Structure 1
């Protein structure tokens, strides 16, 4: 048994520098095991259950729920330690890291935090240390919410959720929990927005009146990340935008044909556009890149990690389909569907929103025709797609009504000139107008 060990808030990925302590799952005196989740923290991207790399007794909790800690700040002190803890300290001293955005990071044998990103396995202990052991021995565990006659039981772990529910005047028994059965902050925010008809604060933050008729909204959470990222994009990237109107009639027919042939695959417009974009990036690899200013280099990425804009209870997010260039169209459809569902549930992990190399933004779902997208730094391109509507179009020399959309392509002028950007956009448009063109790319 070694001396007390201090476990510090680890780097949770994508350059996140701080996190808010949401709820502790242990108290001072509890016995914990290696890889046991001891605390839930909330970053600007997602809620994360953090496992501890040390085994022993909890000697001190260094922050109360609601406290914002910087990465590297003391989180919990464990009296004692074991070989796994020593391995963690050795890796920490050696600077062992999983490459950011690497989709294989969860399966890598070298991780900076033991158990981080791993699925629940047979060796993972239940939360609560000695309390969990008592429950296993037959002693009933205290409920997370007292039972009220005539009301269904509700599981709420986070005191932050209870505080927000109280401030917003919401009955927790009326809130639909997520897949874990626990009411989380994202569930509460979604219920609040639904109750208010979508007019609530996007991050669930309270508005503060500043004067007569004025309202101040704190910039925090996912909104803070978007503000910082888009501001940096505008400061650093000399972007340019080009656009084209496209006849999407045959693409829509192809979508309908695939629906009849493979109804189980769920191949809609977004997967088809994603397949076309991936093919375009493989033909024009300069656009699947990033700029390393420190090294004075443009980095051409070996594969396409395709991001796409999606709405969530926490605001606009950009989930990433890692390895999209290695997927078939049905696999792309499945990945897009699963990530969209996770975004709507507010359950996306930081890894699922990291490491993108190009973004597809289907803003047509908002009923608009065009836009000038802002590049998602550090990527170097974004394709925006407007709504697909009936418009008059000259087809084979005759005026007809066709399904027409507009593509807007914003690119980083440091990585290519207008010829490359125009070639990519024209390739994408040609594939939409003649989907059979894709057969020459596979």
Structure 2
């Protein structure tokens, strides 16, 4: 007789306590292999695939796409030891192959956290014994296939003894087989990313009714946003028309009243996922840290010339180009070596300033999911080329949504290049619990007094926001002046290399 085991949302690491279901990767009635990803979830730090430690037949799923679940809540139930499990991992249709997980696995050692139904006997044989923290295994996921009704040996009566926190979907041989057939009959929807699918779901749009403008009809974000605007316009027009029929008021009054109603209602966007995490961190930073900001304009002409010389040396075979951000990052690590007060944090409980031994440099990156801050580990031990390579790697991971929670935490100082948005200056908010952030504006040609004469130079504004508890203005000013000196005269940096 098959044993039905419950798989709960595991601990995703880094103190995360909840996750939002973005996309189910399996249906009720599917045969899953051990450690096969079964659901894609979005946490406050990354979008990850969660693998199931059991192999068998999926008998129930808990939560629709868009639902937030706390750690420890039931995700699904799996019947192990049934006739259908013999086919787990066997070759199926090509379209059923799942891609590799976005990152490496971090096994926790026991299966206690995976659910109360650890099981024994045949059930234990169908489990990996791992609670996979974060984002699943690094090995390729097994193929999955839908099973025929006669192969499904789990019924509702057999699944009943399993105690779960929510009422699962009633499963029988006929129902389990009918659900996949109904889903397959409609066919898949080609969407450029899960983020686009989520945006459509938030606005109650049926993706099957949209025509994609991408290659082979791929639905892009622009297609969904256009449909949202069209739907909003149609709704407003319908409201005005209805008001005009119901009353004899002038059309101007009706239109004004409709606009007021729309304005008051507004669009409500839940503060969750990355946006919610950013909101919480920024609010905490403003409420806990007595910050201050100082800034200075610097002549970056020599820095840009040095960069051009670096990139010209060696010709096309010299490797990736040196970026301005990598140069500024290396300047920051040199400055932090001279002013370690700014590479620290405050322990409020102990009322102590903790100076940190190494520099883990975060850099702000804007993505479709919102603002994230990937961290370059041990930046103090890297040269410009190594820092640039790591920034490029993390930026690409941020763009594709493949950053792991570990890559987004543990920073000790943040570099924020908002000049890419075409702005000159800002007063950055410190990335709690760090003690400082350097902001960099755009580098542009401006009139500047150089060698006693007016000249056109490449000028940049540098802003330093710092925690006034860890140092006073003299230290902050000294740090910022050293950074500016290195920007104006890159040879100054050679003294510390």
Class of the TM-score when normalised by the shorter of the 2 chains: 0.7 to 0.9
Report the Cα offset of residue 320 of structure 1: 2.1
Change (3 A) 1:176 1:286: farther
In the alignment, structure 2 segments of 5+ residues that lack a partner are 82-105, 116-128, 152-179, 233-258
Equivalent residues of 2:199, 2:224 under 8 A apart: no
Report the Cα offset of residue 2 of structure 1: 11
The question of 1:430 aligning with 2:466 is answered no
Instruction: Give CA-to-partner distance per residue, 1:377-435, whole Å, 9 cap, x none.
Output: 11111101111122232223333222111111001112222222122111111111111
Query: Structure 1 CA distance, aligned partners of 2:382 and 2:112?
Result: 37
The question of 1:20 aligning with 2:20 is answered yes
Moved more, 213-222 or 397-406: 213-222
2:261 pairs with 211, 218, 237, which one? 211
The question of 1:379 aligning with 2:434 is answered yes
The question of 1:273 aligning with 2:328 is answered yes
Report the Cα offset of residue 233 of structure 1: 0.6
Instruction: Give CA-to-partner distance per residue, 1:136-165, whole Å, 9 cap, x none.
Output: xxxxx99987799xxx98378978577468
Change (3 A) 1:191 1:173: closer
Change (3 A) 1:412 1:364: same
Equivalent residues of 2:446, 2:458 under 8 A apart: yes
CA RMSD between the two structures: 4.0
* Residues 196-275 of structure 1 mapped to structure 2, 5 A cutoff: 211-214=261-264, 215-220=266-271, 221-261=273-313, 264-275=319-330
Equivalent residues of 1:210, 1:216 under 8 A apart: no
Query: Structure 2 CA distance, aligned partners of 1:367 and 1:166?
Result: 35
Of structures 1 and 2, the larger Rg is shown by 2
As a proportion of its length, which structure holds more helix? 2
Aligned to 1:400: 455
Instruction: Give 3-state SS (helix, strand or coil) of 2:357's partner.
Output: coil
For normalisation by structure 1, the TM-score amounts to 0.75
Aligned to 1:99: none
The question of 1:171 aligning with 2:222 is answered no
Report the Cα offset of residue 239 of structure 1: 0.6
Instruction: Give 3-state SS (helix, strand or coil) of 2:111's partner.
Output: helix
Equivalent residues of 1:31, 1:58 under 8 A apart: yes
Aligned to 2:76: 76
Query: Structure 2 CA distance, aligned partners of 1:17 and 1:350?
Result: 13
Instruction: Give 3-state SS (helix, strand or coil) of 1:88's partner.
Output: coil
The question of 1:89 aligning with 2:139 is answered no
Aligned to 1:353: 408
Query: Structure 1 CA distance, aligned partners of 2:424 and 2:108?
Result: 58
Query: Structure 2 CA distance, aligned partners of 1:3 and 1:86?
Result: 24
Equivalent residues of 2:11, 2:113 under 8 A apart: no
Aligned to 2:49: 49
Change (3 A) 1:165 1:224: closer
Equivalent residues of 2:134, 2:405 under 8 A apart: no
In the alignment, structure 1 segments of 5+ residues that lack a partner are 94-110, 135-140, 178-182, 201-208
